[in-house]
Amino acid sequence: MALAIQADDVRAAAERIRPLARKTPVMTSAGFDTEAGTRVYFKCENLQRGGAFKIRGAANLVLSLPRESLGGGVVAYSSGNHAQATAIAARHVGVPSTIVMPEDAPKSKMEATRAQGARIVTYNRFTDSREAIAQSILKESHATLIPPFDHPMIMAGQGTAALELLDETGPLDALIAPVGGGGLLSGCATIAKALNAATRVFGAEPAGANDTFLSMVAGTRIAVHPDTIADGLRSPKPGELTFPVIRELCERIVLVSEDEIRAAVKFVLLRLKILVEPSGAVPVAAVLFHKLPPEIRSVGVIVSGGNVDFEDLARM
């Protein structure tokens, strides 16, 4: 079966999202390199508009749709970063947005989404189905669904993070990105492999939300009950479209513990002086705690976001 996206889709996305997404900086740290034993290039999507890479995918999908088809507005369900991204993209093209969020989503993400002009509908993560709620809103309002990861335009949009990174650094031995539903990882793997087939691509997942790890081992999509502080990676199962890409292009999924995630958040904050959210710290932890093959001399790390509540941070 043909994969859902190709490298040219990522290149087209890079052009399309230019008015909405920021070209984020690539940072390095001699201190981090010494600890990790490899040269590390951090693609700082925590400094992206909306505080995460999600604007890349949401903007790519929203901007690819004819304005007249968006009259009923857009709907998204998301624990946070995709919500804010969808709201930003909707506001940019001048249509209303409705976001379906779990009632225990981080306060900072909920407030930031509301500040972008979105209407927020909450649900109970343990008893309600967010898909069912989103579907009923779609029916009522004739709105367009902006899915969080399992759509070719979303996948291609997220891949622009790796395109920018590799444009700036040149060829790297490896690339690693966090994996929740797999939108970011599938997009990044697609462009990284096209730019240089020798670049080894890894996904990083919390051990407490290891659905993609298990799926890779099994060769088919496996669902789990996620339990992790990395709230952006709590999707229970890889996507129908994302998984085949990941399976084809990624070497393997690296798992990290909750303690390793916390340590990575702290290390990056104190040494690089930037704030990353637990989900964004997952690939950082994988590199910091030597989970990649030792012969890798250079690695690009997609630091996916920086939206975290101060109280949660203090608790670490």
Residues in the interface with its own copies (CB under 8 A) total 22
State which H helix or E strand residue 195 sits in: helix 183-195
Task: State which residue, 46 or 144, has the beta carbon closest to its own copies.
Answer: 46
Task: State which residue, 47 or 121, has the beta carbon closest to its own copies.
Answer: 47
Q: Is residue 59 close enough to count as binding its own copies by CB under 8 A?
A: no
Residue from 86, 108, 113, 235 binding its own copies (CB under 8 A): 108
Q: Is residue 37 close enough to count as binding its own copies by CB under 8 A?
A: no
The count of C-alpha atoms lying within 13 angstroms of the C-alpha of 68, restricted to the half-sphere facing its C-beta, is 0
Q: Is residue 218 close enough to count as binding its own copies by CB under 8 A?
A: no
Shortest CB 308 distance to its own copies, Å: 8
- What are the residues whose beta carbons fall under 8 Å from the beta carbon of 141, sequence distance 6 or more? 72, 73, 75, 98
User: Which residues, 287 to 306, sit near its own copies by CB under 8 A?
Assistant: 306
Per-residue interface string for the shown chain with its own copies, residues 246-285, x marking contact by CB under 8 A: --------------------x--xx-xxxxx---------
Q: What are phi and psi of 256, to 5 degrees?
A: -130, 155
> From CA 106, how far away is CA 231, in angstroms rounded?
8
If DSSP codes are grouped into helix, strand and coil, which group holds residue 204?
strand
| Amino acid making up residue 123 | Y
Burial class of residue 4 in the structure, from the number of CB atoms within 10 Å of its CB (0-12 exposed, 13-18 middle, 19+ buried): buried
Q: What is the CA radius of gyration of the chain?
A: 18
Q: Is residue 113 close enough to count as binding its own copies by CB under 8 A?
A: no
Q: Is residue 139 close enough to count as binding its own copies by CB under 8 A?
A: no
Shortest CB 186 distance to its own copies, Å: 25
Residue from 47, 93, 207, 214 binding its own copies (CB under 8 A): 47
> From CA 79, how far away is CA 44, in angstroms rounded?
21
Q: Is residue 23 close enough to count as binding its own copies by CB under 8 A?
A: no
State which H helix or E strand residue 153 sits in: helix 152-169
Shortest CB 23 distance to its own copies, Å: 12
Q: Is residue 80 close enough to count as binding its own copies by CB under 8 A?
A: no
Q: Residues 75, 138: contact at Cβ < 8 Å?
A: yes
| Rounded alpha-carbon distances, angstroms, from residue 315 to 35, 265, 278, 308 | 24, 12, 13, 11
Residue from 8, 18, 23, 25 binding its own copies (CB under 8 A): 25
Q: Is residue 207 close enough to count as binding its own copies by CB under 8 A?
A: no
Interacting residue ranges for its own copies, rule: CB under 8 A: 25, 27, 31, 46-47, 51, 108, 115, 266, 269-270, 272-276, 306, 308, 310, 313-314, 316
